[in-house]
Structure 1
Amino acid sequence: MVLIFRSHFAFSRNPRITNQGKNVSIPYGFTSTLIKILEKEKPTHIAVVFDTTGPTQRHLIFPDYKGHRDNAPEELDTAIPDVDQILGAFNIPVYRLGGYEADDLIGTIAIEAEKETFETYLVTTDKDFAQLVTDTTYLYRLSSRSDAEEIMGVEQIKEKWKIQRPEQVIDILSLWGDSSDNIPGVTGIGEKTAQKLLAQFDNLENLLKNTDQLKGKQRENLENESGVAKLSKQLATIDCEVPFEFNFEDMRRRSPDITRLNDIFIEFEFNQLGKRVFGDLFDQQKDAAKAELLQTINDIEVNYQLAETADERSNLINLLSQQSAFCFDCETTSLDKKNAQLVGLAFSFDAQTGFFVPLPIDRYECKSVLDEFQTLFEDTGIEKVGQNLKYDLTVLRWYGIEAKGPFFDTMIA
């Protein structure tokens, strides 16, 4: 999930919106990072793991776990299915399991991968993954602000955390806490103090057995908050024994579904990524796809009718009177409502359906035809819809028609 949130924040000020109004910021950021990893690292096996929306085992033992975080952005509701769709086109398996965090599934996979002698890279921005680093498992740590990455092995973790072995990261977090996950830690103990205590006592359990060697407030806090420290360690420990099915053959890297991926890139307007993956061919396919979407009036089935005679107008009025709403437009000779002359009325109440009533040039004859529509326009049980209704209502008023609401003006909606 860290890549999902990383992509969200990367485009939060300048989101990527398609011409159809779809926000594709998260899918774009995620896909860009994925392609970079595939091109640069050329993995033989790959899988993606996501969190689920429900509570996890950690929430059961500590309800305030991650409780300080803001609600997930609304765009995640549509972004994650889009990312799933993209990963499906790349033929990359996705794992998620209710009641467990993605961290736990990743830890379980990493332990099994080590048994199979794989060289494993955990792609993340989370520091707590450092506890999983071994001689064959590395932290592929992405920067939260750039595309740079840092590959960290055992020695790099030991140096960064000032510890003797990577699993002591859990003990550091149990004492220091982790504000990002709302893991409490022990009052008054920060990172450096936790490092000094572990250098002396090796792990949390041994430290708590020997608090008599400490002094003052530090001893008092550790003894009074020993339960909190143990809870914090439980929360910080990645569960590497999650009961879920997976196999490494499913993770073997396969060629993407070119047609499916190309269609997604065109739909999401991933133009730069499309050129990067498909080359100049993508532009040709994109243009062809656009051409298929372009339509003229000849491509659309419509029902446009002319109501010219008295009987045709009567039938139209009867039809409009049965509607809960209709839209109308005054066709005139000028945009100046005081000098405009009516030449016709247009009506519609359904998609691809329209009626046009031509009006006589002679003002007296024109008003005579308009009078037939007076009852319709004065009917308060029918909503009148239009664009810039103020203009149309004024023109009608000049011809003696006082239309009554309710009104809906699309220009100010």
Structure 2
Amino acid sequence: MREKLYLIDGHALIFKMYYAFLRRPMINSKGADMSILFGFTKYILELIVREHPDYLAVAFDPPGGTFRNEMFPEYKATRAETPQLVIDSLEPLRELCAAMNIATLMVPGFEADDVIGSMAKREAKKGLEVYMVTPDKDYGQLIDENIFQVKPGKSGGEDEILDAKAVCEKYGISSPLQVIDMLTICGDTADNVPGVKGVGEVGAGKLISKYGSVSAIYEHIDELTPRQQTMFREAQPHIALSRELVTIKTDVDLAETTEGMRVNLEFTPRLADLFAEYEFSSLKKFIPAGHTQTTLPQNSPKVSVNEIPAEEFKQSAKQNCRLSVTVTAATSGIFTPVSRITLATSDPKEAEELQVKVTSSTDINTFSDLLSDPEIEKFGYDLKLAENILRYNGIDLNGKLSDVGLMHYLINPEKSHKLDVLAKTYLGIDLNSEEPAEEAEPLSLFDAPAEVADASESEATAAALLVGLKVRADMET
């Protein structure tokens, strides 16, 4: 079996993540937008876990122009200004790649396309099976027997793998190299490359299928329709330049060795520091030894979560006059049955040790008296949703309602209000630190009995109570 090399178009992946998170950006507890860094890193780690490549590298465009700008100053001149978030992400991403032992490729004067094209051809000649990860149609010209294009899926869909047959069938051509002729005729509005005005992809495909190349079309120009003759003659002064602009170079001198691109994921101290800084705890599961429990600072509070029977919990909650609630819905929306309800309470006298008692049930009527008791304060995350679901199921959520996310928004509106981030910030605990289940096990890692809450629900409910108490204390100071 051939060894596999994956070459990733770094800037294309950056923009994919920029637009994917544009409406709902990922903001960490420091108020920094982690959308691109998180999405980019997660995509690569998932790819490594899913495809098991032997070698992998990420190519980036260099700062400044390339040889194409020298040939044609108007090249890419019509593009909108690059978003600052995209610009600011480049160096952190290169640092993350270095920490993950992933090679990065950047050659002054050449685009990532040229670097990937040159590396793909070089390594394919050595016998490697090469996969170029990019949505860019220009890469079709590089595909051959051992070189493939991987187009990342849209909206979470599966990636599409293109081989020579798929490219030829798409355009009606006989060789992937004829993609260069297709691009020469069609031009590229995104890169401001002029083509033959008035000839689209379908028309270009038919002409290339019949004549084989752009030069052959001009040799038989008298055979074209009068309108086509006019369009091709008008384009003739720039057609050679257009062909050069759309042709991806395959002879760029590259210093990176094959062995230097070998995949060697390790959860190194440097990577651990970066994941902690960026709050990427959920990504540790993709890296060997990366899902181990993070050692908390010496001054971190000690949290103890104890599962107790429902009747014992009721007595404690009434004495403490406070509880937190997590409603697990059977389906989406607010008009849905409840599959489980999880409650947590703590004694004000044990606040320093953070001793939390937790219980749960699949029968919400078990706790109807607690939930409707106006003397018991209710904490939770997204309490409005929980209140609506409970009301639909015939239970009123009474008493003082303290929503953790809303309270934190009032004191720190520019920061993240997600519960896992708040738990890390206020309690020093990681709600995402549990090891994933083995692939062979169809059930949860915790395999809880029917009347015991899933570990994540118990911890999240306990965290909502403890974080809520601390956030409210901050509001009162």
Give runs of aligned pairs for residues 178-189 of structure 1, distance below 5 A: 178-189=188-199
| Cα contact 1:91–1:257 (8 A) shared by 2 | no
Residue 234 (structure 1) aligns with:
244
Give the C-alpha shift of residue 279 in structure 1: 7.6
Q: Distance in 1 between matches of 2:281 and 2:37?
A: 13
Normalised TM-score (structure 1): 0.67
Give the C-alpha shift of residue 221 in structure 1: 1.5
Match of residue 253, structure 2, among 229, 243, 260: 243
1:60 aligns with 2:60: no
Aligned partner of residue 230 in structure 2, secondary structure: helix
Structure 1 residues 291 and 169: CA distance shift in structure 2, 3 A:
farther
Residue 69 (structure 1) aligns with:
79
Give the C-alpha shift of residue 179 in structure 1: 2.1
1:285 aligns with 2:306: no
Which residue identity does 1:53 align to in structure 2? P
Aligned partner of residue 37 in structure 1, secondary structure: helix
Which residue identity does 2:261 align to in structure 1? M
Q: Distance in 1 between matches of 2:290 and 2:124?
A: 41
Match of residue 154, structure 1, among 139, 161, 164: 164
- Which is higher, the Rg of structure 1 or of structure 2? 1
Give the C-alpha shift of residue 127 in structure 1: 0.9
Runs of at least 5 residues in structure 2 that lack an aligned partner in the other structure:
1-10, 302-477
| Cα contact 2:265–2:287 (8 A) shared by 1 | no
Residue 85 (structure 1) aligns with:
95
Structure 1 residues 131 and 76: CA distance shift in structure 2, 3 A:
same
Residue 203 (structure 2) aligns with:
193
Residue 402 (structure 2) aligns with:
none
Match of residue 44, structure 2, among 24, 34, 38: 34
What are the Cα deviations for residues 90-135 of structure 1, in whole angstroms up to 9, with x where unaligned?
A: 1011111111100000000011011101100001111111110001
Aligned partner of residue 285 in structure 1, secondary structure: coil
| Cα contact 1:7–1:30 (8 A) shared by 2 | yes
Residue 130 (structure 2) aligns with:
120
Residue 181 (structure 2) aligns with:
171
Structure 1 residues 273 and 147: CA distance shift in structure 2, 3 A:
farther
1:225 aligns with 2:223: no
Match of residue 129, structure 1, among 139, 145, 166: 139
| Cα contact 2:267–2:289 (8 A) shared by 1 | no
Runs of at least 5 residues in structure 1 that lack an aligned partner in the other structure:
293-413
Residue 220 (structure 2) aligns with:
210
- Which structure's relative contact order is higher, taking Cα pairs within 8 Å and 6+ residues apart? 2
Aligned partner of residue 132 in structure 2, secondary structure: strand
| Cα contact 1:131–1:170 (8 A) shared by 2 | yes
What are the Cα deviations for residues 197-231 of structure 1, in whole angstroms up to 9, with x where unaligned?
A: 11111011111122111121210121221132222
What are the Cα deviations for residues 263-298 of structure 1, in whole angstroms up to 9, with x where unaligned?
A: 21121111321244368945x317449949xxxxxx
Give the C-alpha shift of residue 84 in structure 1: 0.9
Structure 1 residues 209 and 273: CA distance shift in structure 2, 3 A:
same
| Cα contact 1:266–1:286 (8 A) shared by 2 | no
Aligned partner of residue 46 in structure 1, secondary structure: strand
Aligned partner of residue 55 in structure 2, secondary structure: coil
Which residue identity does 2:128 align to in structure 1? F
Q: Distance in 2 between matches of 1:184 and 1:177?
A: 5
What are the Cα deviations for residues 356-407 of structure 1, in whole angstroms up to 9, with x where unaligned?
A: xxxxxxxxxxxxxxxxxxxxxxxxxxxxxxxxxxxxxxxxxxxxxxxxxxxx
| Cα contact 1:142–1:149 (8 A) shared by 2 | yes
| Cα contact 1:52–1:97 (8 A) shared by 2 | yes
Q: Distance in 1 between matches of 2:115 and 2:168?
A: 24
Normalised TM-score (structure 2): 0.58
Structure 1 residues 31 and 252: CA distance shift in structure 2, 3 A:
same
Q: Percent identity?
A: 33
Aligned partner of residue 75 in structure 1, secondary structure: helix
Give the C-alpha shift of residue 163 in structure 1: 1.0
How many residues end up aligned between the 2 structures? 291
Moved over 6 A (4+): none
Structure 1 residues 120 and 290: CA distance shift in structure 2, 3 A:
farther
Residue 5 (structure 2) aligns with:
none
Q: Distance in 2 between matches of 1:269 and 1:132?
A: 38
Match of residue 19, structure 2, among 9, 16, 19: 9
Aligned partner of residue 185 in structure 1, secondary structure: coil
Q: Distance in 1 between matches of 2:298 and 2:268?
A: 15
| Cα contact 1:24–1:79 (8 A) shared by 2 | no
Structure 1 residues 112 and 289: CA distance shift in structure 2, 3 A:
farther
Which residue identity does 1:112 align to in structure 2? R
| Cα contact 2:135–2:152 (8 A) shared by 1 | yes
Give runs of aligned pairs for residues 231-380 of structure 1, distance below 5 A: 231-277=241-287, 281-282=291-292, 284-285=293-294, 287-288=296-297, 291=300
